[in-house]
A and B are shown apart, each in its own frame.
Chain A
């Protein structure tokens, strides 16, 4: 047949070519990417894998450290202390902020949750090459399971955060508004997952992005009003509107309003945050799914 010219470089050509008609109907292509809906179904049917993976790794996360899981809480406390010394006492960014310690604690603790979830989600595909090559399963389950793990791991962190706020004066009253931090944290987690999915695909291709990620996160932290308030440094109206579109700022704003200032967060904050969270999730899933076939390549 038309073949034969293909292996021209092999010394003697084969004796002949036999054409075998094969119907590929009913066969599945190995490693092929399923349709988006089918992919989502597969992820759902692997929910047992996601939850098990997440729970198994929560307990093994800090096993190499002597203080183990205590670092989950010590880390933001030490961070908060550093920021308190430098920004609160030395640079005095606390001026004009009511209950600066509470303000700072919420900023540092919640930023750390996002930073960890995004970093680990971004590395999830690269770090699990062995599992990817050993088994055939929807790869998006890896970043999802990392994010579930981070949610589980953040529970003690959040409880510590609230306890610290209650300990440090001025004392805050516990109101029904405290419950509103749950939907805010949920939206934050959805946003983290979306970003993690996007970065996981990028890093699986170009590993160098891991080096840039820590810088990007630092810039994001400084831009999110973790230890100062925008109003003090930004006078330009339009610029202020733009920086207030930052999703993490809106998480912090909502939680601070509920916990510290006993005010109802504005609907704009909720809208901006929800748009970011679900927008990123949809973009993230589609973007990650598009490259499903490429993750097994080394």
Chain B
């Protein structure tokens, strides 16, 4: 895509999402006993006395830059723990990066998060609350309310407190609320979708509608078919590294071959494949000009 990046606006492009030198490092408690965990001395002793497990740093995403343009549908593939969901959370603003910054032309909306909102409140109260939090007015919410309840497929259960919902039910509600606005930048994390077959059908319809209207789409999916069918560009992430960035057919083919070798146990062949793929990667370096408008 490098050739079409330079056109328009006197050599500069009009991006929808700019990921600028972003990296993400989590500190998580580890129960691994014999490990070179930093902090023997006082810190280690204090931890032992307080009965806390030591924290180890995990690099979920290594330094990454990325520019998405209007009209692009970007698929993200990778194994579990490759940083796909982390990248999505960073773009949607659900986490802040350890380093770097994400810029966007409007607030991205993420579909498919499995989260209970306010467990004590009923489903219908959560719908109104969620919509108000997204900045909709009461009149707009009244218009959309029925369609949200329909999409969630919860029927009578909508009046029950959310803590009584199964995880599938709450993720359906969460999806229905998020899908009620027409975002310019749409993030879809299919890996988190837990709905049953009937809901999957319904949510797919709504997603296609939204995708048609959205300016940019980011799609995480374990189905390579979906990625090839829906995306114009695909990223392959592995252990926090960007391995490939390019045509969906090429990237999914390389990724598929890589996972096949891993399943067969040919780790060396797999590693070579990964190295080969990465050696053709052209890393994007973003040169920011002008200060970003500051807004939430």
Contacts and interface: CB of A to CB of B under 8 A. Distances in A.
Interface stretch (A11-19, A65-73, A197-205, A271-279): A11-19
A238 interface: no
B130 A28 contact: no
B292 A25 contact: yes
A24 B296 contact: no
A124 B101 CA distance: 27
B293 A294 contact: no
Contacts of A31: 93, 96, 102, 296
A242 to B, nearest CB: 36
A21 B286 CA distance: 6
Interface residues of A, number: 58
Contacts, number: 205
A32 interface: yes
Contact of B294 (A4, A35, A296): A35
Interface in B222-269: 241
Interface in B1-53: 2, 5, 9, 11-13, 15, 18
B106 interface: yes
A19 B287 CA distance: 7
Interface string A237-270: 0000000000000000000000000000000000
B278 to A, nearest CB: 6
A26 interface: yes
Nearest to A4: B283
Interface in B80-111: 90-96, 101-108
A22 B288 contact: yes
A141 B164 CA distance: 26
Given A24-B18, A34-B296, A42-B296, A7 B128 contact: no
Nearest to B137: A48
A16 B283 contact: yes
A175 interface: no
B166 interface: no
A116 interface: no
Which of B11, B104, B129, B275: most chain A Cβ within 10 A? B129
B118 interface: yes
A22 B132 CA distance: 33
B105 A3 contact: no
Contacts of B288: 22-24
Nearest to A18: B282
B125 interface: yes
Contact of B91 (A1, A10, A30): A30
B115 A133 contact: yes
A274 B278 CA distance: 64
Contacts of A7: 62-63, 241, 283
Contacts of B62: 7, 10
A134 B121 contact: no
Contacts of A12: 275, 278-279
Contacts of B15: 22, 27
Contacts of A38: 294-295
Nearest to B118: A131
A22 B118 contact: no
Contact of A20 (B13, B104, B132): B13
Contacts of A49: 129, 132-133
A2 to B, nearest CB: 8
A29 B130 contact: no
Given A16-B282, A18-B5, A60-B121, 4 more contacts: A18-B285, A30-B93, A31-B93, A296-B95
Interface of B: 2, 5, 9, 11-13, 15, 18, 62-63, 67, 90-96, 101-108, 113, 115-118, 120-121, 125, 128-130, 132-135, 137-138, 161, 174, 178, 241, 271, 275, 278-296
**6 smallest A-B Cβ distances: which pairs?**
A25-B290, A49-B132, A135-B133, A27-B103, A24-B292, A14-B281
